[in-house]
Structure 1
Amino acid sequence: MNRNIVRPLELGTPRIPALLVENVDHYRVQGPAVVVNPHPDPVRLDVAPSVTIPALSSTILTGTTIVSAPSVIVVAATDAPAADVIRAPGWHLLSELMPSFPPATPLWKGPQAAAGSARLDAPHLLGERADRRQEETFDIRVNLWYAPAGTDCAIHDEHDFIEIHTQITGVGRMQKFHARDHSTLYQDIPMAPGYTTPQPFCRTAPDGGYRYPWHQYRADTDCVWLAVEYHRPAR
């Protein structure tokens, strides 16, 4: 099997190039780059003492070798103005794609790209049981988002996939609420570049889907972040 298969991820960001590296075997990250481990097992780095990128997590690497992994997502770390990204083709205000979304909310979505697959035991991954059992293959899809400073990106509770979020530029936060009301905030997760929310927010539902709490992204500064989505392949 070929090793270190590198494929560009077309995320609509010429100034923030992104790569998928599959069958990782002593792959050197020149960096600086945000490196996401989208798998349920840690990824070891070739440094001493031993360091790993934990499951469904990320870090910023420079001049570092990844020992092995099914795949990693590598996004260039940059200090370019975050607002520059939406000038590239393929970016849309979310209200253009989803007419029901509040048109006054300046939330922009970039083009989505396929990023390989991962083997997951969803109930174990989501903390519903301690032991790891039968795994399923999930397709991974990724896209970037942009929001300017001070944007509340809308409280919602519906997704038909598992997702995590990785901060690329700026400072923001993922927030959870008891109801669709900002005054019911109960968890606030600060996010700086290189940070991923390692515990997906959802739980499995009886119909095979996923149940999310009320949640939103909030941009403290101008922000670009990466959504990593896990979809069951269509049957």
Structure 2
Amino acid sequence: MSDNTEQPIKFSEKYLKTTWLTNVRNYYIQNRTIVVNLGNQKAHIAENPEKYLRPRTSTILQEISIKDGDSLLLIEIGGDETNIGGIVLDPALWNLFGNIADFPKDVPLYKSTQYDLGIVKFDPYFVTGLSDQPQESKIKEYQLKVNWWFVPAKTNCAIHIQHMVPDFLEVHTQIYGIGRMQKFHANNFDTLYEDVIMSPGDTHIPFASVDEDGQFVYPWHQYYSDTDCIWMANEFHPI
């Protein structure tokens, strides 16, 4: 495979140019860009002293090189944000979630096309914080799938404890606006117990744990938007 292989990801070409970058070698980031490490390896940043981006984490970079990495998603930010909510009007790329799932149609939650971005490996017990060091015997393979979501300001995106497809690990990366990942004791907004503020470039730590059968399990949780928001769901599906 050649170095710095670029593949455009068409969530939005007008507002947020997105590129899947693999086999990274001394790749220069010119413009302000959200960089999400979706691979197996640390991505080393050519800073002095040298810094790195761990798998399943993200940051914002500009005018600096990434020395290496196996799989990064680059979302270039900035430019004209006028009418950015119009990205959901492309029927080839976006759907009102209530039209494709058992979900209220009066909640303006929109989901983009989903893309497969390769296979990654990790120890689920280490990634979810149940062990302090990864163990080779527990490392599994996962198919990585990513999609974007959009909601206007002040939207509750529904408390839930299960997903449409069970048993995958998800984390979210904030792309635009300010939102929150929230945890609840029960399916009731009055039982909120953790509020994780999300600003552009943030990726939260996994909410999931692993049960006695090795399945991912979640607390009651939801996304809430303080402003108009776009975020990316990074889903790791067991193979």
Q: TM-score, normalised by structure 1?
A: 0.92
Of 130, 133, 144, the residue aligned with 1:131 is 133
Other structure's SS at 1:164 match: strand
- In the alignment, does 2:146 pair up with 1:142? yes
Instruction: Answer whether contact 1:148 1:223 (CA < 8 A) is retained.
Output: yes
After TM superposition, give the deviation of residue 11 of structure 1 in Å.
2.4
1:190 is aligned, of 197, 209, 227, to 197
Distance in 1, Cα, partners of 2:75 & 2:230: 11
State, as a whole percentage, how many aligned pairs show the same letter.
35
Quote the offset at 1:207 in angstroms.
Answer: 3.8
* 1:122 is the counterpart of 2:128: no
Partners of 2:84 and 2:211 lie apart in 1 by 36
Report if aligned partners of 2:173, 2:232 keep a CA contact under 8 Å in 1: yes
Instruction: Give unmatched runs, 5+ long, in structure 2.
Output: none
Q: Does 1:228 align with 2:218?
A: no
- The Cα of 1:15 is off from its aligned counterpart by 2.6
Residue 30 (structure 1) shift: 1.9
Q: Contact conserved, 1:35 with 1:61, CA < 8 A, in 2?
A: yes
Alpha-carbon distance, 1:61 to partner = 1.1
CA contact (8 A) 2:40 2:55 kept: yes
Match of 2:97 in 1: 94
> Aligned letter for 2:220?
W
Per-residue deviation, residues 154-173 of structure 1 (Å, max 9, x unmatched): 00111321011111111111
CA contact (8 A) 1:34 1:76 kept: yes
* Matches of 1:172 and 1:180, distance apart in 2: 20
Q: Which residue of structure 2 aligns with residue 178 of structure 1?
A: 185
Q: 2:222, 2:51 → 1: CA distance? A: 31
Distance change >3 Å, CA 82–CA 190, structure 1 → 2: farther
Q: Calculate the TM-score normalised by the size of structure 2.
A: 0.91
Runs of 4+ in 1 over 6 A off after TM superposition: none
Q: 2: distance between equivalents of 1:183 and 1:215? A: 12
Give the superposition deviation at 1:12: 4.8
Question: 1:191: how far off?
Answer: 0.8
Structure 1 residue 137: Cα displacement: 1.9
Distance 2:27 2:65 in 1: 5
Q: What stretches of structure 1 of length at least 5 have no aligned partner?
A: none
- Name the counterpart of 2:225: 219
Deviation for aligned residue 1:18: 1.1
* Partner SS, residue 206 of structure 2: coil
Given that residues 201 and 212 in structure 1 are in contact (C-alpha distance below 8 angstroms), is that contact kept between their aligned partners in structure 2?
A: yes
